[in-house]
Amino acid sequence: MAAKEPGRRERRKMETRNRLLDTALTLFATQGFEATTIDRIAEQADVARQTVLNYFPRKEEFVRAWVDRRQERLSNLLREETFRDLPARERLTGLVRRMAGYDEQESRVARAISDGWLRRDSGFFAAAIAPSALAEAVRLGQRHGDFDPAIDADLAAEVVYDCYLQTLNRWLHADTEFALDRVLLAKLDLVLNGLR
């Protein structure tokens, strides 16, 4: 049974929410997370302050929505037939490469969020949950015989995500630049091959 299409009211709510999120992310990138206020987001989006608060009661909710949006994109990618048909190793590599691509494309946003909110709320990383797409990619690999079926897929996803988060943090704050995707893929290769 096909999913029911959202009605006009729901579509308008989603459009408003997305517009507010995009506005906030643009302001974070240009002004910094700390300097961006709810009032400034409302002004830039041309809505009332209360409208912003109805969708995002706290500024930190924009960060969670940004992370959720990216994780949803990964899940959608995994559902694409051409992607699902890849061998397990290539599927995981593709997901990690896409994650790096998001950060490279949105590096100013990622840096602003990291420099602002994440520095004062280190609990975000402690509570960070690996994208479900990573665990699903491992499970698909197990079903197709590419990965050991005894491996805990959620734990494997967590290991990959932990490598991603730490590498991302170094990339955002390193004194010397390095290619995020290259380092992430090298680490993934080590995880997939194991220490022999």
- Report pLDDT for 1: 52
> In terms of C-beta density within 10 A (0-12 exposed, 13-18 middle, 19 or more buried), how is residue 185 classed?
middle
Q: Identify the CA nearest to 77 among candidates 140, 117, 137.
A: 137
* Average pLDDT per 10 consecutive residues for the chain, totaling 196 residues: 74 95 96 94 97 95 92 90 86 93 92 74 63 92 91 93 91 88 93 76
Q: What is the number of other CB atoms lying within 10 angstroms of the CB of residue 26?
A: 16
Q: What predicted TM-score, i.e. pTM, was given to this entire model?
A: 0.83
What architecture (CATH level 2) is domain 59-193?
Orthogonal Bundle (1.10)
CA distance 76 to 125: 24
What is the CATH number that goes with domain 7-57? Answer: 1.10.10.60
- Where in the sequence of the chain do the CATH 1.10.10.60 domains occur? 7-57
Residue type, 109: V
Output the pLDDT for position 54. Answer: 97
**pLDDT of the residue at 83:** 83
Q: What is the pLDDT of residue 189?
A: 92
pLDDT at 113: 85
Instruction: Give the residue range(s) of CATH 1.10.357 domains in the chain.
Output: 59-193
Q: What number of CA atoms fall less than 13 Å from residue 67's CA on the CB side? A: 16
